[in-house]
A and B are shown apart, each in its own frame.
Chain A
Amino acid sequence: MPLYFGMFVSVAAYLVGMALKKKLGWAILNPLLVAILLVMALLKATGISYGDYNQGASYISYFLTPATVCLAIPLYKQLELLKKNLAAVLCGITTGVAGSVLSIFAMSLVFRLERVHYVSLLPKSITTAIGMGVAEEAGGIVTITIVSIIFTGILGNIVAEGWFKLVGIREPIAKGLALGTAAHAIGTSKALELGEVEGAMSSLSIAVAGLMTVIAVPLMAGLIG
């Protein structure tokens, strides 16, 4: 398998996703979701293994760390706005993290989930790198955590615009905080599309919500034995 197969296919699939969105304009045609499904379908149809694909494609993923570093750029540009709205930022992210772990706890009770599955889902709204470590510490199944984090991110990315309209969230700062706290970096890529203020607030939320969740999960994990 050529090393550039995985890279080319990923980029081409994303291009197709962008073109489809432009042509049809449906919100459900999120370019990221379309790209993921296209690559999955291609692998299934051709019988090429994920390992062969990822041998090349994984090089794309390596750029996620420097890209995360660069989230400091929109954040720096909006620093004055951040200082002015510090109360809203802290309150928004704190209630979001609390809402996340409490709603997961309540629904885990309803579904009578085992502890191992419950703690695997607890860090689902934060960035993969933090979430994996948190789930591992709490004794969860890391694979399930990764799947739920990615699924959450894509879901947040897709539904955000429609959901904000539906529940009446209009302030750019609030939108950015909501996207970053609910859907980490994948949500932040949507926030950056919405605008610079949204992108900056979302970037900040990844870091702050991630760190708050590191503290919240061990406290919550003991509640289901």
Chain B
Amino acid sequence: MKYLKEIAIIFGITMIGELLNQWIPFPVPAGVYGLFILLGLLCSGAVKLQDVQATGNLLLDLMPLMFIPSAVGLIEKFDELKAILVPFFVITVVSTLVVMTVTGKSAEWIIRRQKKEEN
């Protein structure tokens, strides 16, 4: 019964996210709408953590698995990429490292400054 209730809540929120995704003309995915709905419900106390936690943690544990099918699909799309293979590779690698570095460093800079002020 525990799982039944949890799955019902998670599927229900997912469905509402899908409806919002269809109705609102922004390219915001259903899952992101659902994320904020569940967060709102948790914060308001309408849904308790133990009402979603076991199923939620299972889904989060299995999340990497869910990327495999679409990633394997790359074998079919290789032709479209051939024309820009080298720039594609360089741009993707460099910009990913740039984003990681500037995000991490700027956040860390603020966190450390806050810690100093507190002391």
Contacts and interface: CB of A to CB of B under 8 A. Distances in A.
A163 interface: yes
A73 B52 contact: yes
A195 interface: no
Interface size class of B (residues with CB under 8 A): 35 or more
B69 A10 contact: yes
A214 to B, nearest CB: 6
B35 A92 contact: no
A146 to B, nearest CB: 7
A16 B93 CA distance: 26
A63 B70 contact: no
B31 to A, nearest CB: 3
A210 B42 CA distance: 23
Secondary structure type dominating chain A contacts: helix
B22 to A, nearest CB: 13
Given A32-B67, A70-B10, A207-B32, A171 B43 contact: no
A20 interface: no
A97 B95 CA distance: 10
Contacts of B91: 103-104, 107-108, 111, 121
Interface in B39-93: 39, 42-43, 49, 52-53, 55-57, 59-60, 62-77, 80-81, 83-84, 86-88, 90-93
A62 to B, nearest CB: 8
A183 B26 CA distance: 21
A69 B65 CA distance: 16
A119 interface: no
Interface in A101-143: 103-104, 107-108, 111, 113, 117, 121, 124-125, 127-130, 132-134, 136-137, 141, 143
A13 interface: yes
Nearest to A160: B100
B5 interface: no
Contacts of A57: 68-69, 72
A178 interface: yes
Interface string A61-76: 1011111111111111
A171 B107 contact: yes
Contact of B99 (A64, A125, A129, A192): A125
Nearest to A108: B91
B5 to A, nearest CB: 15
Contacts of A103: 91, 94-95, 98-99
Given A150-B67, A151-B92, 6 more contacts: A54-B69, A67-B59, A71-B31, A72-B38, A95-B103, A129-B29
